[in-house]
């Protein structure tokens, strides 16, 4: 019986140094929010545990999630990650095609029944028995039901498979549904984003390999470690929001000075994701940092949350009033503070004058 390679054996065979391997483990430990003492456990897991077979299925989507993963500029993501997860089936990059490809996937799932991970990109059309998306002669609806039977866990990669995204937007003519609404008897973790950050995808997989369980999830089945805070909470423009300094239109003075983008449609205050922390392209930037408002792509039904690029005045912010009210409150606060400062100055001068008069009387 052939022994399956571990991740470490694979990367060493491909010429990756021990130093780079440890750096990858350290970064992943940090991304997962684990204590430093857990670093050695991550290292041991990737050194000793067999790489889990992963079958990456593509349904109703644009493939941006695949592009995000394989085009990551981080060398240990872009060059090694496909080896780490033992990717046995991925339509976008695999060499096999047609009947050969389908034979590989079904034979592999039979061989690894109960031990493989299913990564799904795209939602599943259900109207008219799912005829609007077919793979290998089967509808996507039939395909996902059959493929999920022996899956250890299912990872919904991207907003289409997690919540529906554009494919379920009104009027949803093909009856698309996210994976968790179709498969209810298997552990499902959602990694939303259009596309999601590559390090978030990898971190979730590494957690599953290391601890043999999915990370702690929120009410929407998202890993809390990556989706536990609003983008707004860690946004470098937060100070401008608190001060009531908003961009009113693109390319105005506020936009050039980097003020808060909430009034031009930014959904950062109501969107949970790691964009403002992990960022993109080796931590270089994220949409808000480049001057583009967050569209809330990791939240359910974001595509129908319109109008985009426009301030929705009646959208309340958690723990805050609306942006308009914050602006008004800031103006009132400034006026009150100015008035208080004026009164304080007058009192101070009057007190000083009284002291001087008393001093003069004593000297006489």
Annotated binding-site residue numbers for [4Fe-4S] cluster: 62, 65, 160, 194, 232, 235, 260, 266
Instruction: Please answer whether residues 52 and 260 qualify as being in contact, where contact means their C-beta atoms are separated by less than 8 angstroms.
Output: no
Using CA atoms, how far apart are residues 267 and 311, in angstroms rounded to an integer?
9
DSSP 222: -
Half-sphere exposure of 37 (CA within 13 A, CB side): 0
> Kind and range of the H or E element at 346?
helix 323-363
Using CA atoms, how far apart are residues 151 and 165, in angstroms rounded to an integer?
24
DSSP SS3 for 50: strand
Residues that constitute the known binding site: 62, 65, 160, 194, 232, 235, 260, 266, 275, 294, 297
DSSP SS3 for 130: helix
Instruction: Please answer whether residues 273 and 225 qualify as being in contact, where contact means their C-beta atoms are separated by less than 8 angstroms.
Output: no
Using CA atoms, how far apart are residues 282 and 91, in angstroms rounded to an integer?
26
Residues that constitute the known binding site for [3Fe-4S] cluster: 275, 294, 297
Tokens 């990737």 found at = 46
Using CA atoms, how far apart are residues 188 and 221, in angstroms rounded to an integer?
7
Residues 267, 268, 271, 274, Cα dihedral to 10°: 140
Using CA atoms, how far apart are residues 283 and 73, in angstroms rounded to an integer?
10
Strand partners, 212: none
Q: What are phi and psi of 131, to 5 degrees?
A: -70, -10
Strand partners, 85: none
């Amino acid at each position: 019986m052939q022994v399956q390679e571990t991740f470490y054996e694979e990367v060493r065979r491909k010429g990756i140094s021990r130093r780079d391997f440890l750096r990858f483990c350290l970064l992943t430990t940090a991304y997962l929010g684990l204590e430093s003492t857990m670093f050695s456990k991550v290292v041991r897991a990737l050194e000793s545990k067999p790489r889990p077979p992963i079958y990456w299925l593509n349904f109703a989507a644009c493939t941006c999630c695949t592009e995000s993963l394989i085009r990551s500029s981080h060398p240990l993501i872009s060059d090694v990650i496909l080896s780490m997860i033992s990717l046995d089936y991925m339509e976008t990059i695999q060499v096999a095609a047609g009947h050969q490809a389908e034979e590989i996937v079904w034979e592999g799932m039979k061989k690894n029944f109960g031990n493989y991970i299913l990564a799904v990109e795209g939602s599943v059309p259900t109207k008219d028995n799912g005829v609007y998306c077919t793979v290998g002669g089967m509808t996507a609806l039939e395909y996902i039901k059959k493929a999920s039977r022996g899956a250890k866990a299912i990872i919904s990669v991207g907003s289409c498979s997690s919540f529906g995204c554009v494919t379920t937007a009104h009027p949803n003519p093909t009856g698309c549904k996210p994976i968790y609404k179709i498969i209810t008897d298997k552990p499902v973790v959602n990694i939303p984003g259009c596309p999601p950050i590559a390090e978030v995808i990898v971190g979730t997989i590494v957690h599953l390999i290391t601890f043999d369980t999915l990370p702690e999830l929120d009410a929407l089945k998202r890993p809390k470690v990556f989706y536990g805070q609003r983008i707004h909470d860690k946004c470098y423009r937060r100070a401008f929001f608190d001060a009531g300094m908003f961009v009113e239109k693109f390319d105005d003075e506020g936009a050039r000075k980097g003020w808060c983008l909430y009034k031009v449609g930014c959904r950062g205050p109501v969107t949970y994701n790691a964009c403002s922390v992990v960022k993109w392209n080796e931590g270089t930037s994220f949409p808000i940092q480049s001057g583009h408002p967050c569209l809330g792509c990791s939240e359910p039904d974001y595509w129908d949350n319109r109008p985009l690029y426009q301030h929705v005045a009646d959208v309340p912010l958690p723990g805050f009033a609306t942006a308009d009210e914050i602006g008004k409150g800031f103006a009132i606060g400034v006026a009150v503070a100015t008035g208080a400062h004026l009164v304080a100055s007058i009192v101070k001068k009057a007190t000083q004058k009284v002291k001087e008069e008393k001093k003069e009387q004593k000297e006489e």
